[in-house]
Amino acid sequence: MRSHIAAALILAPGLASAAETELSSRIDRVTVFPDGAVVTRLGKAELLQGASQIVLRGLPATIDPASIRVEGKGDGTFSVGAVDVRVTPGDARPVLDTVLEEKLRTLRDEKEKLSGQIGAIEAKRATIERFAQVGPDKLGPDGKALPVADWPAVFEAIGTALVKVQDELRGTRNRLSDVEAEIASLERARPQAGRPGAPKRDVAIAIEAPQPVAAEFTVTYRVTGANWTPTYEARLTTTGEKPEIALTRRAEIRQRTGEAWDDVALSLSTTRSAGGTRAPELTPMQVAFFEPPVVYESRPRLGAAPAPMAAARAKAEAEATADALAKQSQRSAAPKPAEIQVATIEAGAYQANFQVPGRASIPQDGSSKTVTLTQRKAEATLSARTVPELEQKAYLEAGFVHEEEAPLLSGRVALHRDGTYIGMGQFGLVAPGDKVELGFGADDRIKVSFAPVKRRENEPSWLGQTRTDLREFRTVVKSLHAKPVKITVLERIPFSESSGITVETIAAQTTPPTEKQVGDRRGVASWTFDLAGGAEKEIKLAYRIKWPGDRELSYEEQPLPGR
């Protein structure tokens, strides 16, 4: 006989007077989510005749009482009644991880230092840009015009200084992003009840049996203080007949729930088990004069319930048994490389589960355990991308189509090119069927040069005259590859939202772009072309800015969409 009940948290009349039997249990299965975990315990108890209680003692205080579910079966009939969750004193032992806290303190100090460095670099860049706006016609002695012969040297100095300061800024921002991500990961792994004497919870289950019964119980509940984060490794091979990417998906698991997860069946789910369960309500908006805008509160969305896993698990076990028998029948004198154990994917319409092979133990001190989830190879398409205004070099990019059942969650990826580690990259959520593009470092066989050709700004001679600023740039891309290479060049043209400022591209002096606006990035254009081996391509860009003569302009970089 099996009985099911969700935690009702209702203490039935007379429950306190019923006899109590302690339920001895062990953790058998754990499903880890990006923001928590569901723990499954198995236990046995000898039920007394009549009304009684079985008590599961010493559970973490962080369990969600509404998530408790009890299932029972035995050699006789019995019924499961109310479930009572009690708070009890915990062990008076400090559980603070001094090593983790010291690392967090060090990272926070580094974050503060990097933020100060970014402010200083941005101030230096602003100074250089203000100097560039003066123009060489005012840089001579006593504010007079600089000789035309000296203008290229001024342009070169300004360009070099901007490239250098942009490199400093990008590197510092990347390091700050890494530090913030590491701080967030460590804070998620901190114990939710990490103080001496933290309380525990006991779960009392009301039982009614007409005669003594030997029963088995399954108790599941959700806890906080656990999470898993995806990590990836992408290995690009360009030396074969066709370029190929080998992508390995891994998971770093951490838990500080206060429970020992020893020798458990482990699965990972892409569903977020905490947060909102439906889309937020959109309230009406009224427009009026001089009123501040309405601020809306948004909540994250949560996927549907897990899909059944029994059929997929049975299939995986059968295949694993067949593979083991096949290997036993083979004998070979030559050594063979070790195989990597990967998880079984159970993909549903709204989520994906990864069943980790075998059984695992996850320490409760917050240290990470890494498991391999999937491995696959895909044909890659190669191209190069350059942003000559910021860096006069091109970067190799490789793209492939994600064809697995489960999506790729946002995460960092270790990049390798032809056996050499290149660095760390990042990609966002990738759905099955989407194309992934990753950068694999500078392409030294593509030479890029960028230079301002002309800048001419008029000075108004009377009140109300319009001022103009004409700028021309020249980019040259040369390939030293033996085969044709697809190259994309990105350049920007200032844009204005003021009716008093107009920006126009001079078509006669501009190479027509492939895209006048790249995605939703205003003012960013691209030129994409196939460049033969040993060939070079010239791209010209010219634009004119007009504005009232009694006003001054400011140039401000805008954040990228979604950043």
Cα atoms in the Cβ-side hemisphere of radius 13 Å centred on 187: 10
Cβ-contact 43, 77 below 8 angstroms: no
Amino acid residing at 436:
V
Identify whether residues 86 and 206 lie together within a single domain.
Answer: yes
Token pair of 81 as six digits? 């009644």
Most confident of 19-28, 314-323, 375-384: 375-384
> For residues 301 and 279, what is the distance between their CA atoms, to the nearest angstrom?
6
Last residue of a domain, one of 177, 208, 223: 223
Q: Are strands 3-6 and 536-548 parallel, antiparallel or unpaired?
A: unpaired
Cβ-contact 25, 183 below 8 angstroms: no
Task: Evaluate whether residue 117 is within a structural domain.
Answer: yes
Cβ-contact 194, 104 below 8 angstroms: no
Amino acid residing at 540:
K
Q: Which residue has the higher pLDDT, 334 or 510?
A: 510
DSSP 410: S
Cβ-contact 405, 353 below 8 angstroms: no
Identify whether residues 162 and 28 lie together within a single domain.
Answer: no
Mean pLDDT of the chain: 80
pLDDT cut 90: percent of the chain above it: 32
The total of other beta-carbon atoms located within 10 Å of residue 257's CB is 24
> For residues 16 and 472, what is the distance between their CA atoms, to the nearest angstrom?
86
How wide is the angle at C-alpha 352 spanned by C-alphas 348 and 357, nearest 5°? 120
**pLDDT tens figures, 458-503:** 876 666 688 888 999 999 999 999 999 999 999 999 988 888 889 9
Phi and psi at 273, nearest 5°, equal -85, -5
Identify whether residues 12 and 41 lie together within a single domain.
Answer: yes
What pLDDT was estimated at residue 240? 83
Identify whether residues 72 and 145 lie together within a single domain.
Answer: no
Q: How confident is the model at residue 388 (pLDDT cuts 50, 70, 90)?
A: very high
Q: Which residue has the higher pLDDT, 7 or 251?
A: 251
Nearest to 346 by CA among 320, 307, 377: 307
Q: Which of 14-28, 87-101, 375-389, 405-419 has the least mean pLDDT?
A: 87-101
Amino acid residing at 118:
I
Task: Evaluate whether residue 53 is within a structural domain.
Answer: yes
Last residue of a domain, one of 161, 188, 215: 188
Q: How confident is the model at residue 178 (pLDDT cuts 50, 70, 90)?
A: confident
Task: Evaluate whether residue 472 is within a structural domain.
Answer: no
pLDDT cut 70: percent of the chain above it: 74
Identify whether residues 114 and 162 lie together within a single domain.
Answer: yes
Identify whether residues 178 and 39 lie together within a single domain.
Answer: no
Identify whether residues 55 and 8 lie together within a single domain.
Answer: yes
Task: Evaluate whether residue 213 is within a structural domain.
Answer: yes
Q: How confident is the model at residue 92 (pLDDT cuts 50, 70, 90)?
A: very low
3-state secondary structure at position 394: strand
What pLDDT was estimated at residue 447? 96
Identify whether residues 8 and 84 lie together within a single domain.
Answer: yes
Beta-sheet strand order (sheet of 79-88): 19-22, 50-60, 200-209, 79-88
Torsion of CA 56, 57, 59, 64, to 10 degrees: 50
Cβ-contact 464, 435 below 8 angstroms: no
What pLDDT was estimated at residue 234? 95
Look at the chain and report how many structural domains it folds into. Answer: 2
> For residues 385 and 396, what is the distance between their CA atoms, to the nearest angstrom?
7
How wide is the angle at C-alpha 272 spanned by C-alphas 424 and 195, nearest 5°? 90
> For residues 488 and 104, what is the distance between their CA atoms, to the nearest angstrom?
41
> For residues 376 and 249, what is the distance between their CA atoms, to the nearest angstrom?
9
Task: Evaluate whether residue 137 is within a structural domain.
Answer: yes
Nearest to 478 by CA among 362, 343, 384: 384
- Asked whether residue 72 carries a pLDDT value surpassing 60, the answer given is yes
> For residues 355 and 348, what is the distance between their CA atoms, to the nearest angstrom?
14
- Asked whether residue 17 carries a pLDDT value surpassing 60, the answer given is no
Identify whether residues 134 and 71 lie together within a single domain.
Answer: no
What pLDDT was estimated at residue 243? 93
DSSP 33: E
Cβ-contact 54, 47 below 8 angstroms: yes
Identify whether residues 7 and 59 lie together within a single domain.
Answer: yes
Q: What's the alpha-carbon Rg for the chain, to the nearest Å? A: 32
Beta-sheet strand order (sheet of 536-548): 502-505, 536-548, 466-479, 435-457, 393-401, 381-386, 485-492, 524-531
What is the average per-residue pLDDT within 260-284? 75
What pLDDT was estimated at residue 322? 54
Q: How confident is the model at residue 88 (pLDDT cuts 50, 70, 90)?
A: confident
Identify whether residues 107 and 127 lie together within a single domain.
Answer: yes
- Asked whether residue 444 carries a pLDDT value surpassing 60, the answer given is yes
Give Dmax (Cα) for the chain.
Answer: 108
What is the average per-residue pLDDT within 152-179? 82
Identify whether residues 57 and 81 lie together within a single domain.
Answer: yes
What pLDDT was estimated at residue 451? 92
Task: Evaluate whether residue 326 is within a structural domain.
Answer: no
Last residue of a domain, one of 188, 213, 238: 188
What is the average per-residue pLDDT within 61-78? 89
Task: Evaluate whether residue 293 is within a structural domain.
Answer: no
> For residues 71 and 64, what is the distance between their CA atoms, to the nearest angstrom?
17
Q: Which residues contact 550 (CB under 8 A, 6 or more apart)?
A: 460, 463, 464
Q: Which residues contact 470 (CB under 8 A, 6 or more apart)?
A: 454, 455, 456, 457, 506, 542, 543, 544
> For residues 403 and 250, what is the distance between their CA atoms, to the nearest angstrom?
17
- Asked whether residue 89 carries a pLDDT value surpassing 80, the answer given is no
Domain range for residue 208?
3-90+198-223
Cβ-contact 200, 61 below 8 angstroms: yes
Cβ-contact 224, 255 below 8 angstroms: no
Q: In whole angstroms, how far apart are CA 276 and each of 129, 159, 271, 505?
A: 46, 50, 12, 48
CATH number for the domain including 147? Answer: 1.10.287
Task: Evaluate whether residue 277 is within a structural domain.
Answer: no
- Asked whether residue 335 carries a pLDDT value surpassing 80, the answer given is no
